[in-house]
A and B are shown apart, each in its own frame.
Chain A
Amino acid sequence: AQSVTQLDSHVSVSEGTPVLLRCNYSSSYSPSLFWYVQHPNKGLQLLLKYTSAATLVKGINGFEAEFKKSETSFHLTKPSAHMSDAAEYFCVVSELSGGSYIPTFGRGTSLIVHP
């Protein structure tokens, strides 16, 4: 069985400072891992995904995440926050189950960016 834990429900940063959104997962097999972002009244947009290639994954808008198997973590980072990064972020794990890949979502982390 797979599960995802997003360790912070809210993260608050100042514009221009680094962003760290934490995600831990458990999975029986080799999972695929994703980060999605949702801006208000918009659909979820894929930021990046890990599918057993390079462990450091670069995504859109300057975000990246590092897959650490030993720590079962897939934390999302960005060197410098921008006001437009304020949104809700979801960590997702997906593994094969009964012939289908069923995604499991974390509860989401709201990123607040102060001027």
Chain B
Amino acid sequence: EAGVTQFPSHSVIEKGQTVTLRCDPISGHDNLYWYRRVMGKEIKFLLHFVKESKQDESGMPNNRFLAERTGGTYSTLKVQPAELEDSGVYFCASSQGPEQETQYFGPGTRLLVL
């Protein structure tokens, strides 16, 4: 069974540019989560999808971040325009059932904004 995949693995962009991160969850997993780890800080929750609907987006830092989950399958996280403080590692995770069930994480996308 394929795990959670994320693309790209690394991205280096300049301030003001746009970047789109993609996450493919494990097939059949209705729950999809985005997290971010800024260097030296803890991993923070960004948002949670149940199928194509946003269940909770309380962790999204501001309106420069837009997450979508087309058809309840893969998800994208767009940052537009990117700022220096957006640099960090963006993780995606998926789970089959309720939130307390095991979440399976992808390897992360390392974003560097110059």
Contacts and interface: CB of A to CB of B under 8 A. Distances in A.
Interface string B1-33: 001100000000000000000000000000000
Interface size class of B (residues with CB under 8 A): 20 to 34
B91 A44 contact: yes
Contacts of B43: 90, 105, 108
Given A43-B107, A43-B108, A32 B100 contact: yes
A49 B102 contact: yes
Contact of A101 (B4, B100, B102): B100
Contacts of A36: 105
Nearest to B33: A103
Indicate the size class of the contact surface on chain A: 20 to 34
A46 B103 contact: yes
A36 B56 CA distance: 22
Given A98-B58, A102-B58, A108-B42, A43 B100 contact: no
B2 to A, nearest CB: 12
Contacts of B41: 107
Interface in A25-65: 32, 36, 41-46, 49, 51
Contacts of B102: 46, 49
B55 interface: yes
A104 B43 CA distance: 8
Contacts of B100: 32, 51, 94, 101
Contact of A106 (B42, B99, B107): B42
B45 A103 contact: yes
B51 to A, nearest CB: 15
